[in-house]
Chain A
């Protein structure tokens, strides 16, 4: 039995490391995109439209003769950038509301948590669609809107942790020394609640990348000529029975990246969860 458990844990870590490898792999691609890409991703070549994958065009060309390989490579930049910034925004908001709500309690807590409930009531994707239609679709707007609609989970997580931490003796000690609330929150509570946020953030990146792809697919995300996995897929949809490479490669890129972040996130959660590691 012990051996069995051990194997299970090893397996989990293997998957986590696999996730980590994928995440790093795509980050490297994003950083070195100009060196990896074989063509300029926005160069139109109307003489070579919808060409099949070949030695010059590894992933074929799209409806305007642009190199799909280079577009997928540059698309990585957009996806990862959007993923990180959006999650960054949601984590900052989530941490702030969560800490304040959990620490001060009372009316503040009630107000914040009811606001969270209200936000959770909206179907997030449709809220994003509506807001983007109002604003101009652009990378910045997509990042901000995804960030502003995905902080509720982090808030609840942080609030719960804060509630338990604030009753600990070291917090009481700090209070008795008349240390300001801000300082207590930042120096004593924040470091103790941040770990589960890492897990949520890693999983959040996967979600943000998917949302960005979906928005771009619908034409509401990244605007042409900037390549993104989602808008390459749009062209793929129109030609799905003919030009399989337009759907398969960006689709695989999205699939593998999201899988990577999910594996990493799940692995981290198991690793950090005392209930599981004690077994």
Chain B
């Protein structure tokens, strides 16, 4: 995934993790008051906590989560990897966030209004929000964040949504108006971006700021320690504006290999990790595992696909691409690669989302049909060598993917074998991630790719599918150009009405299904294991982590006790 794409993924994670209990803001302020008033008499503190409906959950314990990779930079506008953004989502807040049903709701903003011409948004900010260092958050921080993102000296991948802002005016300390050059439907989504502290960043160059390694935000957890390549430790922010989280510490342990990580989980050194399909379906059925861990599964926000470089003569005819899709056994791939833990993808949206069109052309596995289409397109085995040819050119190409994702390598081998049955010679090349991106994808120097995209909550298709994104290092690297789709995408960006917007995206999905610039493969399930002592976990369309602040460990199950 490219930076932009990570951003999208991260935004999702960021927004779903920070979700607390917005409506109960007033109550939690009261609760905080109670705590401070009773500070000298600890026993009563706990009493008053149990009386209060908000604070009846016990505070304490530590959660250890396993992660394959380390974070790179904890100022989220500067980093593009998912781990950095996962950590940042606990430390920072955006103006808005997605709730458990993936609807936008206020985070640092109490409420917002859209002007009649749909060109400006007014945010009313929450009062009494404090940065971890005790300073008060206000509208200046929001404007500062915007100015930093669009500053040319800031190396950020997320500036495009902010560059179309005309200006931002601070009306008072807690009211801010954003004026756009023209109506822009994805605008609200962009305000889920983390807000940065002005008082700590205004006089330093952001790339030299110490906040990159010692972040200070407004979020539910405060940064404690980062041992590179080992672990990142956070502690609960007791004065969080949405009420303090119940789990006292959060530790992300970095273990670069999923087999090792799984062993650590079984040993009890981890509480929470993503499972591979094999681990999920075959290795978690022992009584010991079931006694200690709970498994969760939900549709993940990503899909896998095979993308064809449309500048290559081989793939210019849509019948050829349709034939390749017909000869791709999607169901069997899900069955063998994911052990059944996934859904067939037919387009760029999740099957359970509002935007998903269930009635597009589906390509059930059919080799006969594929052969017919190839013959129609003029491909025949005229020299009887077992491979198709046309005008003296043999149908052979290289299918590339990145190292370190064994699923993609397996997919490549499966389609290689199936396409061989059509008379197509496929060479597989698996290479290191940076090489693949810099030397092949960015230079548009490839035939076909097995890759994946994260699926953003904001349905805009512009970055990946609009023809203007074909050049340079943009994300439409297969160079799909379709005037009709371009117009739909542009129109959808100006359409705020959800139902009307959905109709446009329905049409877009039909076009993509007919043209098959990608062979859409599957949307995998997210599979996680979590220790049973954690309660209050409620899987929802937003996943699992959206209400992390509400998780708690009953006192009799507590594993770690903290001395302060």
Contact = CB atoms under 8 A, between A and B. Distances in A.
B413 A46 contact: no
Given A46-B329, A46-B335, A242-B283, A224 B412 contact: yes
Contact of B332 (A43, A46, A63, A237): A46
Given A237-B259, A240-B259, A242-B283, A44 B417 contact: yes
B293 to A, nearest CB: 16
A137 B332 CA distance: 29
A105 to B, nearest CB: 45
Best-buried of B278, B283, B403, B432 by chain A (most CB within 10 Å): B278
A66 to B, nearest CB: 9
Interface residues of A, number: 24
Contacts of B336: 46, 49, 63-65
A225 B417 contact: yes
Contacts of A239: 278
A219 interface: yes
Contacts of A46: 329, 332-333, 335-336, 414
A133 interface: yes
Interface stretch (B203-211, B229-237, B303-311, B422-430): B422-430
Interface string B400-442: 0001001001101110110000000001111110010000000
A63 B435 CA distance: 27
Contacts of B263: 241
A224 B262 CA distance: 27
Interface string A207-251: 000000000000100011100000000110111111000000000
Interface size class of B (residues with CB under 8 A): 20 to 34
Contacts of B278: 50, 238-239, 242
Contacts of A223: 427-430
B435 A133 contact: yes
Interface string A30-58: 00000000000011101001100000000
B282 interface: yes
A142 to B, nearest CB: 14
A234 B258 CA distance: 14
Contacts of B283: 241-242
A136 B414 contact: no
Contacts, number: 62
B446 to A, nearest CB: 13
A237 B335 CA distance: 21
Best-buried of A50, A137, A219, A242 by chain B (most CB within 10 Å): A219
B429 A136 contact: yes
A239 B283 CA distance: 10
Contacts of A65: 336
B259 A63 contact: no
A234 B409 CA distance: 11
Contacts of B403: 219
A64 B415 CA distance: 12
A43 B414 CA distance: 10
A65 B263 CA distance: 26
Nearest to A240: B259
B410 A64 contact: yes
B335 A242 contact: no
B75 to A, nearest CB: 32
Contacts of B332: 46
Best-buried of B283, B335, B336, B417 by chain A (most CB within 10 Å): B336
Contact of B413 (A50, A137, A225, A238): A225
Interface string B251-265: 000000011001100
B262 A241 contact: yes
A50 B336 CA distance: 9
A64 B329 CA distance: 13
B414 A238 contact: no
Nearest to B418: A44
Interface in A244-265: none
Nearest to B283: A242
Contacts of B262: 241
A137 B406 CA distance: 17
A64 B429 contact: no
Nearest to B403: A219
Contacts of B335: 46
Best-buried of A63, A133, A136, A234 by chain B (most CB within 10 Å): A63
B428 A224 contact: yes
A99 to B, nearest CB: 40
A44 to B, nearest CB: 5
Contacts of B406: 63, 234-235, 238
A219 B430 contact: yes
A63 B410 contact: yes
B428 A225 contact: yes
A216 B336 CA distance: 23
Contacts of A237: 259
A42 B259 contact: no
Interface in A8-50: 42-44, 46, 49-50
B428 A133 contact: no
Given A49-B336, A235-B406, A239-B278, A225 B416 contact: yes
Contacts of A42: 417
A224 B413 contact: yes
A231 to B, nearest CB: 10
Contacts of A50: 278
A191 B403 CA distance: 47
Given A46-B332, A64-B414, A241 B429 contact: no
A219 B276 CA distance: 20
Contacts of A43: 417
Contacts of B410: 63-64
A17 to B, nearest CB: 40
Interface in B101-141: none
A46 B417 CA distance: 11
B177 to A, nearest CB: 52
Interface string B312-345: 0000000000000000010011011100000000
A49 B410 CA distance: 12
Contacts of B333: 46
A175 B259 CA distance: 67
A50 B335 CA distance: 12
A42 B427 CA distance: 14
B414 A44 contact: yes
Best-buried of A50, A224, A242 by chain B (most CB within 10 Å): A224
A8 to B, nearest CB: 44
B259 A238 contact: yes
A238 B259 CA distance: 7
Given A63-B410, A64-B410, A238-B278, 9 more contacts: A63-B336, A63-B337, A63-B406, A133-B435, A219-B403, A219-B409, A223-B427, A238-B258, A242-B283
5 contacts: A64-B413, A133-B432, A133-B435, A219-B409, A235-B406
Q: Which 8 A-B pairs have the closest CB atoms?
A: A46-B336, A46-B332, A44-B417, A49-B336, A224-B413, A224-B428, A219-B430, A219-B403
